Amino acid sequence: MKISIVEMLSGMLVVAFGGFLVGLVVMIAIRSQLAERFLRAFASSARAHYTEQALRLIAGGATVIFAPSMWYADLFKLFGWLIVVTAVALLLLPWSWHHEYGKWAIPLVIRHMKLFALGAVALGILIFYGVSRVVFS
């Protein structure tokens, strides 16, 4: 399978996204207090909000671009667009709304961190599986 440089860079970003999710799970397992501090930083300031949305746009856009090269291309394309659309929506809303939502959601995530970790590792593994098509086809 021959891919362009843009697809290759997108694939690298998708792998990095999967690696981030798995790395977060490792952090939750080994240093849960550090993971809690990291999660509490989400939407804690305008800078954190805009940084998070920029990273989500990059990850979502990379997923959309690389999806045709992945197993379950339609699923990953939809997933990528979901990330892009929600990031754009959050960029268009005042960051203080995201901050208020975070004050409700982050304690819930921290209270159920093991369940959150299970979902994150499952998504990370699914991303790695999807990317494996490039290697194994």
Widest Cα–Cα separation across the chain:
46
pTM (2 d.p.) = 0.94
Q: Is the dihedral of CA 64, 10, 2, 133 positive or negative?
A: negative
Tens-of-pLDDT digits for all 137 residues of the chain? 677 999 999 999 999 999 999 999 999 999 999 999 999 998 899 999 999 999 999 999 999 999 999 999 999 999 999 999 999 999 999 999 999 999 999 999 999 999 999 999 999 999 999 999 988 87
Residue 1 is predicted with a pLDDT of 62
Buried b (16+ CB within 10 A) or exposed e, 36-47: beebeebbeeee
Q: What whole-number distance in Å separates Cα of residue 133 and Cα of residue 18?
A: 15
Query: What was the pLDDT predicted at 131?
Result: 96
The end-to-end CA distance of the chain, in Å, is: 7
**Cα 21 to Cα 25: distance, rounded to the nearest angstrom:** 6
**Per-residue pLDDT, 71:** 96
